[in-house]
């Protein structure tokens, strides 16, 4: 039976999972890596540590499964998106720490571009909101602040990439500098309609075109790994941003289907089919995937809503406040109380995403009385994850996507039964958790498997998806409305704080 190796490179950890042709996990390895916050609003990673952690996990997963390179049909990669790496083509060494998608240092640059009237053109071409979330202003910042970087970039001596490009470069020994449409679409430099780098946007952000990777299909073999890495060459058949990969892994293959990933952030994606749908309410229009032979007609588009701080708020309870020792404890602690006792937590530690797009918003904990204890704060943290997701769904409904019939949930925090029930109650629709919650890695494996013929077409994959548990809403519409009103009052107090 064919096996696939999925590399799932996330914001806080690298993972590798071996799947069989039925989508079952044969082995898993995971390793956390350091998060760096050198200044308020700055978030950085060491790209070399990311590569070494990912390589270690891949080798460990293969060993745990008792497999060798010759046993693996292909590798698929799912990666944290927008995180920006700039490296030397000759040495392969990064010039500076990677600037993470959460980083807010370029908010003033975005404000200047918005004031100059460029936001609408950027949205029309890239499908994205003009925001520091995306790669373009991060890359421009590196070129302006790393000594000599701009001149070296213009001379063709440097390479830019998101994490997929960085891993592909390392896996192929520097012979392939590539990305796929789902990742290119997150840079704010890519025309999602023509599916090519946009010269006007490159000029606007002052990005030399010689920095950019080639754009290959999301599913398709473009190279093989260096033999010395795994004891033999393995075809690389899939590249995808983690949220697009998770959508594919959740079998959201038809227009209208939607999933939400509860990870470091929360990412709601709704399939809109072969045509992009422009948002009027702050959502992102983005590419989901492109399957095979560079054919843009085989592309699927998405509407996306992004929450910057989702599961990360639970890590803050652990690392920042110290009210839990392990993130797994939050469910039991929050379940000690029936509600948050009036406390509302807005975790705008990195600003607010959809539908507010406020880079100057900051976290707020309001409604405190002497009766609020650590259990209430834990409950407010889970409420905040679910309430931010309601805002995303509401924006999609207002964009005419039609009422949501159900929401498929994945990501680490989706294992929290209390959170999933809170989410169903606040949305008023069923929330469905699949048996296989490693959906980003599974989607990467699916893309790779399709590329090498393990499966014939995406429809064959839908049969693998199975529900593990359905969380039905139990609250009234009046209760939901009261909670949302309270939440939006708290949002207003968090907006613009750092400005």
pLDDT for 342-351, tens place per residue? Answer: 999 999 988 8
Predicted confidence at residue 459, as pLDDT, reads 84
Question: 364-417 pLDDT, tens per residue?
Answer: 999 999 999 999 999 999 999 999 999 999 888 887 666 788 899 998 889 999
Does residue 171 lie in a domain region?
yes
Q: What is the pLDDT of residue 308?
A: 85
What is the per-residue pLDDT for 9? 96
User: Looking at the domain assignment, is residue 256 inside a domain?
Assistant: no
Q: What is the mean pLDDT of residues 154-168?
A: 97
pTM, two decimal places: 0.87
Segment 105-128 shows an average pLDDT of 95
Return all residues near 125 (Cβ < 8 A) that are at least 6 apart: 191, 192, 193, 198, 200, 201
Closest Cα partner for 433 from 447, 441, 423? 423
Element (H, E) at 386: helix 374-398
Burial class (CB in 10 A: 0-12, 13-18, 19+), 210: middle
| Model pLDDT for residues 50-80, shown as the tens digit of each residue | 999 999 999 999 999 999 999 999 999 999 9
First vs last C-alpha separation in the chain: 57
Range of lowest pLDDT (69-73, 116-120, 324-328): 324-328
- Residue 398: per-residue pLDDT: 83
Cα 487 from Cα 494, distance rounded (Å): 11
Q: Phi-psi category of 3—alpha, beta or left, where left has phi over 0 and alpha has psi -120 to 50?
A: beta
pLDDT score of 295 more than 70: no
CATH number, domain containing residue 78:
3.30.420.40
Across the range 188-215, mean pLDDT stands at: 96
Structural domain containing residue 82: 3-243
pLDDT > 90: percent of the chain: 79
pLDDT of residue 146: 96
pLDDT of amino acid 293: 57
Q: Is the pLDDT of residue 292 over 80?
A: no
Residue 454: inside a domain = no
Q: Is residue 131 part of a domain?
A: yes
Is 470 inside any structural domain?
A: no
Helix axes 107-115, 135-145, angle to 10 degrees: 110
| CA geometry: angle 423, 497, 356, nearest 5 deg | 45
Q: Cα torsion for 127, 131, 134, 138, to the nearest 10°?
A: 140
Q: Into how many domains does the chain fold?
A: 1
142, β-bridge pairs: none
Angle, to 10 degrees, between the axis of helix 47-65 and the axis of helix 163-171?
60
Q: 262: alpha, beta or left, given left = phi > 0 and alpha = psi -120 to 50?
A: beta
What value does the mean pLDDT take over residues 278-299?
81
Closest listed residue to residue 318, CA positions, set 306, 307, 333, 339: 333
The answer on pLDDT for 284 being more than 70 is: yes
- Give SS3 for 486: helix
Peptide bond just before 9 cis, omega within 30 deg: no
The yes-or-no verdict on residue 473 having pLDDT over 60 is yes
404 in any annotated domain? no
For residues 179-200, give the mean pLDDT. 96
Quick: pLDDT tens for 28-58: 999 999 899 999 889 999 999 999 999 999 9
Please state, rounded to an integer, the average pLDDT across all residues of the chain: 93
Query: Which pLDDT does position 303 carry in this prediction?
Result: 93
**Per-residue pLDDT band at 239 (split at 50, 70, 90):** very high
The predicted model gives 319-337 an average pLDDT of 92
Phi and psi torsions of 336, nearest 5°: -70, -20
pLDDT of 140 > 60? The answer is yes
Q: Per-residue pLDDT for 108 more than 90?
A: yes
Mean pLDDT of 254-276: 89
490: in domain: no
pLDDT value for 401 = 64
Domain assignment present for 104? yes
């Amino acid at each position: 039976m064919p096996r696939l190796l999925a590399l799932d490179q996330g914001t806080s950890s690298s993972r590798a999972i071996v799947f069989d042709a039925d989508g079952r996990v044969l082995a898993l390895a995971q390793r956390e890596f350091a998060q760096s916050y050198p200044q308020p609003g700055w978030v950085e990673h060491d790209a070399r540590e990311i590569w070494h952690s990912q390589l270690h996990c891949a080798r460990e997963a293969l060993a745990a499964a008792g497999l060798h390179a010759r046993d693996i049909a292909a590798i698929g990669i799912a990666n944290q998106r927008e995180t920006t790496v700039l490296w030397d083509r000759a040495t392969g060494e990064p010039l500076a720490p990677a600037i993470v998608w959460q980083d807010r240092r370029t908010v003033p640059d975005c404000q200047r571009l918005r004031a100059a009237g460029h936001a609408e053109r950027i949205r029309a071409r890239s499908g994205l909101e003009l925001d520091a979330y995306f790669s373009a202003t991060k890359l421009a910042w590196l070129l302006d602040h790393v000594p000599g970087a701009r001149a070296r970039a213009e001379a063709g001596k440097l390479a830019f990439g998101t994490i997929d490009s960085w891993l592909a470069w390392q896996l192929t020994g520097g012979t392939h500098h590539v990305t796929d449409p789902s990742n290119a679409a997150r840079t704010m430099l890519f025309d999602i309609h023509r599916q090519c780098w946009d010269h006007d946007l490159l000029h606007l952000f002052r990005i030399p075109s010689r920095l950019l990777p080639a754009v290959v299909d999301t599913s398709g073999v473009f190279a093989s790994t260096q033999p010395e890495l795994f004891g033999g060459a393995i075809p690389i058949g899939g590249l995808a941003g983690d949220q697009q990969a998770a959508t594919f892994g959740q079998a959201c293959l038809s227009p209208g289907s939607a999933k939400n990933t509860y990870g470091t952030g929360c990412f709601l994606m709704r399939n809109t089919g072969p045509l992009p749908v422009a948002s009027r309410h702050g959502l992102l229009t983005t590419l989901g995937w492109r399957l095979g032979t560079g054919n843009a007609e085989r592309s699927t588009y998405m509407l996306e809503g992004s929450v910057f701080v989702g599961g990360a708020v639970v890590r803050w309870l652990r690392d920042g406040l110290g009210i839990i020792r392990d993130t797994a404890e939050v469910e039991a602690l929050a379940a000690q109380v029936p509600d948050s006792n009036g406390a509302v937590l807005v975790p705008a530690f990195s600003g607010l995403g959809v539908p507010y797009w406020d880079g100057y918003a900051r976290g707020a904990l309001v409604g405190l009385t002497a009766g609020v204890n650590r259990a209430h704060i834990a409950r407010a943290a889970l409420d905040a994850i679910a309430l931010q997701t309601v805002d995303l769904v509401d924006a999609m409904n207002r964009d005419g996507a039609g009422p949501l019939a159900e929401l498929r949930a994945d990501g680490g925090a989706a294992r929290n039964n209390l959170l999933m029930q809170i989410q169903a109650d606040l949305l008023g629709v069923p929330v469905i958790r699949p048996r296989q919650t490693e959906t980003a890695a599974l989607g990467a494996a699916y893309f790779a498997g399709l590329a090498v013929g393990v499966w014939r077409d995406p429809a064959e994959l839908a049969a693998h998806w199975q529900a593990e548990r359905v969380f039905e809403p139990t609250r009234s519409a009046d209760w939901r409305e009261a909670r949302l009103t309270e939440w939006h009052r708290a949002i207003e107090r968090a907006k613009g704080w750092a400005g």
